[in-house]
């Protein structure tokens, strides 16, 4: 007997009373078909030697719980007067197969620099296993897809997730976001499920960064054309004045050591290098120096990086450059010794720099420190979120002897 899920099927069963008394019979359905099978009427009375018929009604639901294939059906006949004379009538029921699936793209829209990951979820609401495969048409080599090479089998009532990755051919460095439409087909047996989505490609550098770079370039040009020549000129004048003072001191020392007139006319000996150093005084020697401080901090933690000025030296800082290339979020605090230079939110910059015409002096034993409160690591150009916050600071100036 063949039954169709979602439809009702009827068949008859004959019951005969071979006893010598009037007997009443009740019926009980057993086997896998019992949940959706019943007997009408539920009670039948027969005289001795007579027979009667009952109707067996089969109504399997259209559900993945009713699997396709052969199912045993048994009807137990229970005599009321003589219960020990029970009997069972058995047959085979064939449940027809039906196919029903639902597919969805999760999420339908993603924002990324170049590549994005999606999931194709397929629900098998039929009563037979199905093999699911994905296919997609690439768009002029500008948008490519990666998905499982082999079909995935989904059991009745189950759900499968197939990984799908979309990749844009070229990186968008600047400009407005570009929307790429996605069209993916999920094939389950003879059924096609077209799925639509979007990949919104973001530029690597935001538009406001162009304005910041232009302003920074203007400041650099102004520094080299206006400020730096003035600083060099002032330094040169100070050096010339100091050289004149040293020369006058040398002349005065020579005159003081010269013998009085008529005293033999001996020639004056030149001064040694130690004597000249004594006359000139211990002048601090300075040289250009720079140091790089790296701070790597986990989410929710406080990280500190320091540079300690060596003993006997003074660090005269003129330039400070900050790097936040990952786009982390949090708070960065810069200190020169006990002096707080700046406190800045990480999400407001990728690169930042400071310059001083008058150097900021940090004495020996003091430190240049950078402390970072990491709120959330950013996402660098690779497209994957970083495991922790990472900032780089470069501080430069002159490292001079402490006078």
39 and 147, same structural domain?
Answer: no
Q: Which of 77, 95, 113 is the last residue of a domain?
A: 95
As a whole number, the mean pLDDT across the chain is 85
Q: Which of 159, 179, 201 is the last residue of a domain?
A: 201
In a domain, 71, yes or no: yes
In a domain, 251, yes or no: no
In a domain, 242, yes or no: no
pLDDT at residue 265 tops 70? no
What pLDDT was estimated at residue 239? 55
Lowest-confidence segment of 241-250, 306-315, 321-330, 358-367 by average pLDDT: 241-250
Boundaries of domain holding 113: 101-201
187-242 tens-digit pLDDT: 987 788 999 999 998 988 876 777 788 788 888 888 888 766 665 666 566 655 66
369 and 302, same structural domain?
Answer: yes
Give the total number of structural domains in the chain: 4
Lowest-confidence segment of 39-53, 114-128, 245-259, 297-311 by average pLDDT: 245-259
What pLDDT was estimated at residue 103? 93
What pLDDT was estimated at residue 245? 67
68 and 35, same structural domain?
Answer: yes
In a domain, 281, yes or no: no
The residues near 224 (Cβ < 8 Å, ≥ 6 apart) are: none
126 and 74, same structural domain?
Answer: no
Q: How many CA atoms lie within 13 A of 108 on its CB side?
A: 6
Q: Could you tell me the CATH number of the domain that includes residue 13? A: 2.60.40.10
Q: How many CA atoms lie within 13 A of 209 on its CB side?
A: 16
217 and 180, same structural domain?
Answer: no
Q: Smallest Cα–Cα separation from 331: which of 348, 306, 315, 313?
A: 348
Contact 12/54 with Cβ under 8 angstroms? yes
pLDDT at residue 158 tops 90? yes
130 and 64, same structural domain?
Answer: no
368 and 312, same structural domain?
Answer: yes
Ramachandran quadrant class, 75 (left: phi over 0; alpha: psi -120 to 50; beta: rest): beta
SS3 87: strand
324 and 294, same structural domain?
Answer: yes
Q: Could you tell me the CATH number of the domain that includes residue 385? A: 2.60.120
306 and 375, same structural domain?
Answer: yes
The residues near 260 (Cβ < 8 Å, ≥ 6 apart) are: none
What pLDDT was estimated at residue 217? 87
Q: Which two tokens stand for residue 65?
A: 């719980």
312 and 352, same structural domain?
Answer: yes
In a domain, 280, yes or no: no
What pLDDT was estimated at residue 241? 64
Q: Which two tokens stand for residue 18?
A: 């071979």
Q: Which of 201, 221, 252 is the last residue of a domain?
A: 201
Give exposure, 139-154, as e/b (b: 16+ Cβ within 10 Å). eeeebebebeeeebeb
């Amino acid at each position: 007997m063949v039954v169709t899920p979602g439809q009702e099927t009827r068949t008859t069963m004959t019951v005969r009373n071979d006893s010598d008394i009037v007997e009443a019979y009740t019926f009980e359905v057993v086997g896998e078909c019992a949940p959706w099978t019943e007997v009408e009427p539920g009670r039948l009375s027969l005289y001795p030697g007579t027979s009667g018929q009952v109707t067996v009604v089969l109504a399997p639901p259209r559900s993945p719980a009713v699997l396709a294939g052969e199912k045993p059906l048994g009807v137990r006949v229970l005599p009321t007067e003589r219960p020990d004379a029970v009997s069972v009538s058995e047959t085979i029921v064939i449940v027809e197969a039906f196919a029903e699936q639902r597919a969805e793209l999760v999420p339908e829209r993603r924002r990324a620099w170049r590549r994005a990951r999606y999931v194709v979820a397929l629900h098998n609401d039929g009563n037979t296993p199905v093999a699911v495969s994905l296919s997609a048409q690439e768009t002029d080599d500008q948008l490519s897809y990666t998905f499982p090479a082999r079909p995935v089998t989904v059991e009745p009532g189950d759900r499968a997730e197939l990984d799908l990755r979309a990749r844009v051919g070229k990186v968008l460095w600047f400009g407005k976001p570009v929307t790429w439409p996605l069209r993916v087909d999920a094939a389950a047996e003879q059924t096609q499920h077209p799925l639509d989505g979007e990949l919104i490609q973001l530029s690597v550098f935001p538009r406001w960064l162009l304005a910041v770079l232009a302003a920074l370039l203007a400041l650099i040009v102004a520094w080299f054309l206006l400020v730096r020549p003035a600083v060099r000129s002032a330094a040169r004048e100070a050096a010339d004045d100091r050289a004149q003072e040293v020369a006058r001191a040398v002349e005065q020392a020579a005159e003081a050591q010269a013998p009085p007139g008529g005293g033999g006319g001996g020639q004056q000996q030149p001064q040694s290098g130690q004597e000249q150093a004594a006359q000139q005084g211990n002048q601090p020697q300075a040289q250009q120096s720079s140091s790089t401080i790296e701070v790597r901090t986990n989410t929710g933690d406080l990280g500190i990086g320091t540079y300690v000025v060596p003993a006997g030296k003074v660090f005269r800082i003129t330039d400070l450059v900050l790097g936040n290339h990952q786009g982390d979020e949090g708070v960065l605090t810069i200190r020169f010794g006990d002096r707080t230079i700046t406190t800045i939110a990480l999400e407001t910059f990728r690169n930042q720099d400071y310059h001083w015409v008058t150097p900021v002096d940090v004495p020996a034993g003091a430190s240049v420190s950078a402390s970072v409160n990491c709120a959330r690591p950013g996402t660098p150009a690779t497209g994957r979120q970083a495991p922790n916050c990472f900032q780089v600071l470069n501080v430069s100036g002159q490292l001079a002897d402490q006078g």
